[in-house]
Amino acid sequence: MPGQISLIGSDWLYKDFVGEDWIWSNSGKPDTRDYRFWRKGSVPGSVLHNGAEAAFN
């Protein structure tokens, strides 16, 4: 049975990727060393909204 991840609130992070960069940097793995340039996300919202908010703050 698939689990659910709650995105409600502002305590989650997202990162901008181009193409398959996330695969090569192992960002989706628990033991990743890819810890730079993560941005705070918020819900309700969207990736575009959160990116624009991060760019202007």
Burial environment of residue 41 by CB neighbours within 10 A (0 to 12, 13 to 18, 19 or more): buried
Helix H or strand E segment including 9: strand 9-14
Select from 1, 13, 5, 3 the least CA-distant residue to 42.
Answer: 13
Residue with tokens 């890819």: 34
The domain segmentation of the chain, as residue ranges, is 9-56
pLDDT by residue (tens digit) across 9-55? 667 787 878 787 777 777 777 888 877 788 887 776 677 777 787 78
pLDDT at residue number 55: 81
Phi, psi of 53 (to 5 degrees): -65, -40
pLDDT at residue number 45: 66
Record the pTM: 0.47
Secondary structure class of 8 (helix, strand, coil): coil
pLDDT at residue number 44: 64
